[in-house]
């Protein structure tokens, strides 16, 4: 599968937070804490953490009628409140939306002691998406952000462990956390505990705004709000076990044409099929054995960085900029594959991403001479003609994806 390299497109601001903001020294984190034991960092996040997400922002989100289950859930006394208890049908543009959230109902439940959970907020809040992407890039795993808002003095959930690695970031109010070391046998499952099963916690802390906890998957934890409303983020990273990675690799290797035949393995199966199967297994094993471990791990890491919930793009902006291109605007060759045909009466046929076009031979020669990433003013793409005409040609090539705005790297 082709996985596009991520780059920061023009017009998208830089990420505000770094991985180090969460973990401190990365080398120390990966050597001592990652996948081993829970970690606490007081005052880890710089600046005002309400910039990441605030209670005020959640009031706004609650009133956006598009934010509805499963993005918002309510938990009361340890169990989920049925969605019917806080949603209603609303007609939008003639379409019946059956689960639109009723803010007053949510507020009522919250006042009664319920926890409001905001799931996959990285799919809704651009700032959280940026933050999530920083973590996904580093860990090469799918990352989702869940916001937990608990009222004063209420315990959110009973002691339990989750199948995901977690960063907990306290944003407003305080919350008392107890963490225990993960069990010796880690199954990557969910489980609940009684207080007696757990013994003394290894970390017990009152988490304040800016503090960060790291919980490897299966770390038992319990949390309770203190004397203020508490808002924290759970940044969930789905571990990719060897079995997950090997499956991905297998999928790729098994995609070879030699595995496309359709053997009959039913009632009239004969021994030829069995020996053929043996041959295929041997061939598959040889293909697996021949893999370059480094490049395959790079491919797997890239796949992990492009899971749902972290994409970004600025195509609208790029199209708008292309329409307003000036002769001195700097463009550059993209990585798109281009095949040049023969010069036929002053025009050269080009195949770009499967599309065939014919361009003036001078344009084709100019393009062929450009290295990937090498900048060129739009007015010079078509040598020997007025700059305006060259710019028109450059616009066409930009729309085709042969050239792109040079500010975008």
Interface with Fe ion by CB under 5 A: which residues? 162
Nearer to Fe ion, 164 or 253 (CB): 164
CA-CA distance, 140 to 236, in Å (whole number)?
A: 13
Nearer to Fe ion, 215 or 303 (CB): 215
Q: To the nearest whole angstrom, how small is the minimum distance from the Cβ of residue 224 to Fe ion? A: 13
Strands (DSSP E) contained in 63-136 are 72-76, 79-80, 87-92, 95-101, 115-118
Nearer to Fe ion, 86 or 177 (CB): 177
State the residue for tokens 């199209």: 319
Half-sphere exposure of 76 (CA within 13 A, CB side): 15
Strand (E) or helix (H) holding 28: helix 26-28
Q: To the nearest whole angstrom, how small is the minimum distance from the Cβ of residue 61 to Fe ion? A: 22
Is residue 188 a contact partner of residue 163, using CB atoms and an 8 Å limit?
yes
Nearer to Fe ion, 79 or 267 (CB): 79
Nearer to Fe ion, 161 or 240 (CB): 161
Which candidate, 372, 369, 375, places its Cα nearest to that of 405? 375
Classified as helix, coil or strand, 280 is helix
Nearer to Fe ion, 146 or 394 (CB): 146
CA-CA distance, 346 to 382, in Å (whole number)?
A: 13
Is residue 249 a contact partner of residue 293, using CB atoms and an 8 Å limit?
no
Per the DSSP assignment, residues forming a β-bridge with 236 are 144, 166
Is residue 40 a contact partner of residue 342, using CB atoms and an 8 Å limit?
no
CA-CA distance, 42 to 135, in Å (whole number)?
A: 19
CA-CA distance, 332 to 367, in Å (whole number)?
A: 10
Q: To the nearest whole angstrom, how small is the minimum distance from the Cβ of residue 156 to Fe ion? A: 8
Q: To the nearest whole angstrom, how small is the minimum distance from the Cβ of residue 238 to Fe ion? A: 14
Nearer to Fe ion, 235 or 397 (CB): 235
Q: To the nearest whole angstrom, how small is the minimum distance from the Cβ of residue 166 to Fe ion? A: 7
Q: To the nearest whole angstrom, how small is the minimum distance from the Cβ of residue 30 to Fe ion? A: 23
CA-CA distance, 30 to 136, in Å (whole number)?
A: 15
Q: To the nearest whole angstrom, how small is the minimum distance from the Cβ of residue 124 to Fe ion? A: 21
Nearer to Fe ion, 143 or 398 (CB): 143
Which residue of this chain has its Cβ atom nearest to Fe ion in the complex?
Answer: 162
Q: To the nearest whole angstrom, how small is the minimum distance from the Cβ of residue 337 to Fe ion? A: 46
CA 127-131-136 angle, 5° bins: 140
CA-CA distance, 370 to 134, in Å (whole number)?
A: 32
Nearer to Fe ion, 173 or 220 (CB): 220
CA-CA distance, 83 to 344, in Å (whole number)?
A: 66
Q: To the nearest whole angstrom, how small is the minimum distance from the Cβ of residue 304 to Fe ion? A: 22
Q: To the nearest whole angstrom, how small is the minimum distance from the Cβ of residue 143 to Fe ion? A: 16
Angle between helix axes 55-63 and 103-111 (nearest 10 degrees) is: 140
Please say whether the dihedral angle defined by the alpha carbons of residues 72, 77, 78 and 81, taken in this order, is positive or negative: negative
Per the DSSP assignment, residues forming a β-bridge with 92 are 95
Nearer to Fe ion, 44 or 234 (CB): 234
């Amino acid at each position: 599968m082709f996985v596009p390299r991520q780059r920061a497109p023009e017009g998208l601001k830089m990420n505000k937070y770094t991985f180090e903001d969460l973990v401190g020294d990365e080398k120390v984190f990966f050597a001592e804490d990652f996948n081993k034991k829970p970690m606490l960092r007081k005052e880890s996040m710089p600046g005002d953490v309400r910039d990441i997400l605030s209670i005020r922002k959640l009031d706004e989100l609650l009133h956006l009628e598009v934010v509805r289950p499963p993005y918002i859930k309510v938990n009361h006394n340890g169990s989920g409140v049925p969605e019917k208890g806080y949603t209603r049908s609303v007609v939008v543009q003639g379409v019946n939306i059956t689960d639109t959230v009723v803010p007053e109902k949510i507020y009522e439940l919250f006042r009664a002691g319920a926890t409001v959970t905001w799931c996959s907020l990285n799919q809704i809040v651009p700032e959280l998406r940026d933050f999530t992407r920083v973590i996904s890039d580093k860990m090469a795993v799918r990352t989702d952000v869940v916001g937990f808002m608990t009222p004063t003095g209420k315990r959110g959930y009973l002691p339990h462990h989750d199948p995901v690695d977690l960063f907990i970031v306290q944003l407003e109010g305080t919350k008392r956390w107890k963490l225990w070391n993960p069990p010796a046998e880690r199954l990557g499952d969910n489980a609940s505990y009684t207080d007696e099963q757990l013994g003394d916690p290894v970390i017990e802390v009152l988490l304040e705004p800016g503090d960060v906890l790291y919980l490897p998957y299966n770390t038992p934890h319990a949390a309770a709000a203190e004397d203020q409303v508490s808002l924290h983020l759970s940044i969930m990273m789905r571990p990719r076990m060897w079995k997950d990675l090997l499956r991905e690799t297998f999928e790729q290797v098994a995609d070879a044409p030699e595995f496309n035949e359709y053997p009959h393995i039913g009632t009239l199966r004969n021994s030829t099929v069995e020996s053929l199967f043996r041959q295929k297994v041997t061939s598959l094993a040889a293909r697996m054995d021949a893999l370059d471990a480094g490049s395959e791990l790079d491919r797997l890491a890239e796949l992990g960085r492009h899971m749902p919930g972290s994409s970004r793009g600025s195509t609208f902006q790029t199209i708008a900029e292309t329409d307003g291109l000036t002769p001195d605007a700097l463009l550059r060759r993209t990585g798109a594959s281009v095949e040049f045909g023969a010069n036929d009466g002053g025009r050269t046929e080009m195949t770009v991403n499967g599309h065939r076009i014919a361009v003036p031979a001078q344009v084709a020669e100019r393009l062929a001479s450009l290295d990937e990433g090498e900048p060129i003013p739009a007015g010079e793409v078509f040598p020997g003609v007025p700059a305006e005409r060259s710019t028109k040609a450059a616009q066409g090539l930009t729309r085709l994806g042969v050239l792109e705005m040079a500010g975008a790297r």
